[in-house]
Structure 1
């Protein structure tokens, strides 16, 4: 808005501004006429000597008329003015005097000050009305109709000005944040132009006899549109806040509940600070969030887009967007270039949970430091998970926008994940003690200009490349993953065989009785004997641990809840840590490995990924143990009573042959499952992962590729389907239980041979057939169910199981 400059006069007017004696007398005569026409008895506004009090202590009223209306008590001034207007009808004076008087009042009203003939609306109450709605003015009904029409066109300026001024005063408080501060400063600069215009109009009114109401309308007409645009903006900002704050009282905590919480240790500022991170600590909830931060920028941008056809609106909203966005851009620049989150009023799209530090990774089964310390306020993630939504405030009822900083400006919607990751990458690098100071262009950036997004892309690329080099080269990530593969996926199976031989006695004990210290010593001995070259690099990081629950019970519980290994419950607690029923299991069933890794590699090899490795390890270990037990059974049945011929006892011969056939089928089944898991699941998927790691370009992609590799292995090993797990677990339990019967079967065979040699009748043959029949029935039943399930999933959901179908059919045909 360009202020009126009275010096830029059209040709034909005086070149100098000043009052001649004739002009001065004409104006003063008009004012004197107004005084003479006061009704009798009108003493209000006069002092004891009978003079008008508005002129007392103001010797330059004609030169500065606005000063006479600035009083210390607006209410008394309002009552005095309204009394005068009622007692002194303006229609009793000539039309040119009416115009002079109404021009004087208009200059007051345009500054939000009540005049004598233009007064506050009768329903206006400074105590009850919302100041951001502006002050409504009404014109005296006695004013000439030809003047009233023009005056009523100008009156909205007073409403706009008072509303805008009130907005600046209220939104300049600290609670409204830096974005509102910058917006108010920009609007205040625009009001300076408006105030300059008013001072020039006042000067013209005092010095130019030709200054008329029509000229006033001519000069303020463009300003009405400008201030109306700002007025509409502040109304929308006020509407959002008013709607949100209207429901605050309903969610406040009463005194009794507060006292009870305090007695239970649930009160205090610390707990509220933690709960507020999840949207539960603020007694007002999301409804108490002011319109600030990204929400202000979103409203400005949407108004600019919606009114793109109006050049004035587009220019004003664009300038306000750039001015209000400066603090936001500065916070973003600090975040993406240093990793420091400087957001004192929670206005940025990124938020930090201060109670989470990197030490959590070492003791918790969730990598909170990476996924939850820094997040987007709107709860969105690259994976599309809605787990973060517990900490996101609900949208505004009126607009559907998220409140405050949770509202991502539309200009940054497609960049929000890169902004988040750039700062997270730099934080990881800083935690490693590496300086990430980087010089960047000091030119001023604006959110709606292309160079700002070029800057964001460069900052993201730098942070990503730096962290990727740190992980792959400095921290030797790939050798670490290879060591995990060797130890957890039995690629170095000789150490496991050695360990199982050394710890056979200890692993037969209940898991609570097994000595972890002794098992760790035996593991170190096995690794020292078998590890060579690269295999020995990270052997000290491998540790023995004992699980509290059986593998298949745990897997069935997990997949019945979420269907995904490693997922947490809604409250963030890993499934591994859920309360479990007291159930005694053997040491071999509870044995697993753990792997120690330091920050920052713990971001890739996190506790959740270690949990996946442990599931696969226990699956392979159980298969290897059952295979070893059945192989020992086969070795024992190659000699002694199992090779003796008893032609006189054909029933025993058939029983003995059936035992060997069942053992061979079980061994074939276990070996086929183990071969399938090792050579057709883990090895191909590992090669795919290695190929991806050679071409990886972003840290986030590296993390996803690693987790995808483990999840694919779990799925293809049949550990994520409850039906497959149930059939497989029953089948493998039958095989392991049958292997435990090696000694009883040998003893009963010896007794049968001894009885046959002395010619006695064999009384235990019926019992032998009964035991063997139960094993055969159970094995055949669950084998068929398992085969049917595998065939179904191979033909519908998991094509990778097709090779297993062929392998199992070969076991089925074994005689």
Structure 2
């Protein structure tokens, strides 16, 4: 006897007990069920079934929670732990034939079975497909049912139209159960919650249909199909969606193949250069090893979570735009599933907090990188790599695949998991990243980030809501404006940059000359190993306190003296040879490995570099450093300080050679260089050639200095000042500052190996010539003395040979340098055209 649900009596009757008729029907139903159960138990004992089967027989309830059965008849069909539903109980044993049963009875029996099957429970005349196996088949594919072959053909066609609903329902239920675990993240959880709500409506419909079946004699299979027909389409759409979600991660994406041996070589070079924090290098090294299969946790484990789920749903919204019902259904699911994602975005762009425990958001954090790395960071890890987009893209465009960025799935072509950015947010991803990044910098300064944007003011924001994009724009603008104000106004960025320019570019600064005079004793030492850095720092502070005034005096304590470990030009040649340009890969002034061949002999190169560092003079190793605190260290970072140091050492070397040649000119104003010797014309010609060579060398160095300061540094600085007054974003500020320094390095010809080599040779020739000032004076005195003797001057040939070596060397490298400057002026560096005009006046005549 089938369970019966009595109707609820309306009206004002306040009776807590059932009527006699209702009571008799319920007790009769329960008695029938108990008699049926007792009969099964007796049959079990008679057939000698073992104890396990017996215990299962006792555990098979006809009704679960009898006290609640009257209120919820479908509870009798819900599978509880360790129990078998009544449908399974009914379906055991031999399937009964419908051959001799009247059509009306067949319809009633099939209707009864369908109400079970639509809940995923096997019936008497509708059973699992013969190929179905609960152990082997994927539950996410759903359970297939087939009707009895003896069913009348007039009913069979309609039943077969209804049966797919059971497959859809069981698949969706399995998907909800599978994706509701924590590993699948909040987006999947929200999607499962929305699906669960839709299934509740479906279950409510089945409850109403069962009530109609039990109470309405006119209820037929056609009416059942009429009521459930719209739901078939809905469940079909849901089934298509969960099928795509379930099969999307069956591919095996691996970490980017671009993590090739060449990338590892770059990292080895970075490590040798001392780049980046130790935590970051270790993490990146491990990630790249994983990418090459050295130590692998297969990335095929990347689940369909976060942005990828939303991307799949959005694609179905777009593809089903011609079906209003499908479009509305998928749009509803997109909004429901996207709410956790939108909440994470709102938290990130308004408070700077990345609350993403499952890695679903498009922004990721490298926790091993912190503000402490800024002290030794020559690649700006903190700013560039602490918070990044999971797809590896940057503002400059889609970068080459980085280690740790998963490859696209082979079938769908999408990035997996959180690396897949929802298409609706694709054009906003950089502003989302930067808004939170800006707020994080402010929080690191100990300033509470209070955004004027409140989620409650906007109400609930959804993935496809235009208000969300307006909210992102406003949050980005607010965060950017706040950080810009902090850097430019509160932290006095522009005065600090002016101080840097005057200090490192020798612009209107008299402290350097004072310092060089004070430190003359230390600077005359032959090697940097023998000098006292503490003494040099004390002398620098004395010169700064004496000569710095105005805003420069505010930052004099930030200027420090330091000694490089290698010669400027040899170091630049190695860096340019390895990486092409200074700006592409920032390094520290330490050892620089070569290419593959150089790496094989790394130990030998280290020993050679060590010998070179022992031979470097103090004046060649002298450099200035500048210390700033966070958050200014984001703008005046180690990589920008390195560029300032390169330009300072270049200008200081030119200044030192100029001073040496000027001192030579002062010494050559003595009598021995000016006294006429008419009886020794060869000596007078020799003196004239020495004067001429010194004059050409001095003119060359002065023209280089004038070009670098007046036509490169100052014009580019004025352009930077104009940009600083118009800068609108923090990233633009950082780029403008680095671009200014890179432009200065390029136009000063410090980034081209073709120009560096002849220039370094010329400067070495000039400085060596100035070192022989005393020797030339001594030789001149000897020549005068010998000329007055009876034997005459016998050493003029040697003097001419010695001078000729300097002339030949200078003329050769000057010609090479001049030709390269001409080529650069006509192709890549148009600013060098003015230098060509300057050097033409001292070019030797053919």
TM, length-normalised to structure 2? 0.84
Which of 194, 199, 203 does residue 195 from structure 1 map onto?
203
Q: Give the CA deviation at 1:776.
A: 1.1
Q: Give the CA deviation at 1:57.
A: 6.5
- Tell me which residue corresponds to 1:776: 807
In the aligned structure 2, how far is the partner of 1:441 from the partner of 1:762? 96
- Tell me which residue corresponds to 2:779: 748
Q: Give the CA deviation at 1:274.
A: 7.9
**How do residues 418-429 of structure 1 correspond to structure 2 at under 5 angstroms?**
418-429=431-442
- Cα 1:730/1:95, change in 2 over 3 Å: same
- Cα 1:786/1:697, change in 2 over 3 Å: same
In the aligned structure 1, how far is the partner of 2:176 from the partner of 2:282? 32
Q: Give the CA deviation at 1:634.
A: 1.0
- Cα 1:43/1:434, change in 2 over 3 Å: closer
In the aligned structure 2, how far is the partner of 1:557 from the partner of 1:797? 21
Q: Does 1:531 align with 2:583?
A: no
- Tell me which residue corresponds to 1:12: none
**How do residues 234-633 of structure 1 correspond to structure 2 at under 5 angstroms?**
234-244=242-252, 280=290, 283-384=296-397, 386=399, 389-439=402-452, 440-442=454-456, 443-508=459-524, 509-568=526-585, 576=590, 578=592, 580=606, 581-582=609-610, 583=612, 584-633=615-664
- The SS at the match of 2:251 is helix
Q: Is the 8 A contact 2:77 2:86 kept in 1?
A: no
Q: Give the CA deviation at 1:499.
A: 2.2
Total equivalences in the alignment: 753
- Tell me which residue corresponds to 2:149: 141
Q: Is the 8 A contact 2:61 2:84 kept in 1?
A: no
- Cα 1:496/1:664, change in 2 over 3 Å: same
- Tell me which residue corresponds to 2:830: 799
In the aligned structure 2, how far is the partner of 1:805 from the partner of 1:350? 50
Which of 159, 164, 176 does residue 156 from structure 1 map onto?
164
- Tell me which residue corresponds to 2:223: 215
- Cα 1:731/1:385, change in 2 over 3 Å: farther
TM, length-normalised to structure 1? 0.87
Q: Is the 8 A contact 2:61 2:86 kept in 1?
A: no
- The SS at the match of 2:131 is coil
- Cα 1:808/1:527, change in 2 over 3 Å: same
Q: Is the 8 A contact 1:285 1:393 kept in 2?
A: no
- Cα 1:742/1:801, change in 2 over 3 Å: same
Q: Give the CA deviation at 1:147.
A: 1.4
- The SS at the match of 1:314 is helix
- Tell me which residue corresponds to 1:36: none
- Cα 1:238/1:273, change in 2 over 3 Å: farther
In the aligned structure 2, how far is the partner of 1:168 from the partner of 1:276? 36
Q: Is the 8 A contact 2:87 2:116 kept in 1?
A: no
Q: Is the 8 A contact 1:471 1:477 kept in 2?
A: yes
Q: Is the 8 A contact 2:254 2:406 kept in 1?
A: no
In the aligned structure 2, how far is the partner of 1:533 from the partner of 1:419? 41
In the aligned structure 1, how far is the partner of 2:299 from the partner of 2:242? 21
Q: Give the CA deviation at 1:554.
A: 1.5
Q: Give the CA deviation at 1:244.
A: 3.7
- Tell me which residue corresponds to 1:81: 91
Q: Is the 8 A contact 1:567 1:575 kept in 2?
A: no
Q: Give the CA deviation at 1:387.
A: 7.1
Q: Is the 8 A contact 1:160 1:227 kept in 2?
A: yes
Q: Give the CA deviation at 1:702.
A: 0.9
In the aligned structure 2, how far is the partner of 1:376 from the partner of 1:715? 31
Q: Give the CA deviation at 1:398.
A: 2.0
Q: Give the CA deviation at 1:92.
A: 2.4
Q: Mean alpha-carbon deviation: is it higher for 643-652 or for 405-414?
A: 643-652
- Tell me which residue corresponds to 1:185: 193
In the aligned structure 1, how far is the partner of 2:589 from the partner of 2:297? 33
- Cα 1:575/1:44, change in 2 over 3 Å: farther
In the aligned structure 2, how far is the partner of 1:406 from the partner of 1:363? 30
In the aligned structure 2, how far is the partner of 1:560 from the partner of 1:272? 26
Q: Give the CA deviation at 1:420.
A: 1.0
Q: Give the CA deviation at 1:386.
A: 3.4
- The SS at the match of 1:143 is coil
- Tell me which residue corresponds to 1:257: none
In the aligned structure 2, how far is the partner of 1:142 from the partner of 1:153? 17
Deviations 1:455-498 (A, max 9, x none): 11111111111111111111111100000001000003422222
- Cα 1:592/1:457, change in 2 over 3 Å: same
Q: Give the CA deviation at 1:619.
A: 0.7
- Tell me which residue corresponds to 1:108: 116
- Tell me which residue corresponds to 2:792: 761
- RMSD between superposed Cα atoms in Å: 3.2
Q: Give the CA deviation at 1:65.
A: 8.1
- Tell me which residue corresponds to 2:76: 67
Deviations 1:715-737 (A, max 9, x none): 10001111111121111111111
Q: Give the CA deviation at 1:753.
A: 0.9
Deviations 1:193-247 (A, max 9, x none): 1101111111111111221111111111111111111111111111122324999
In the aligned structure 1, how far is the partner of 2:235 from the partner of 2:700? 83
In the aligned structure 1, how far is the partner of 2:231 from the partner of 2:745? 69
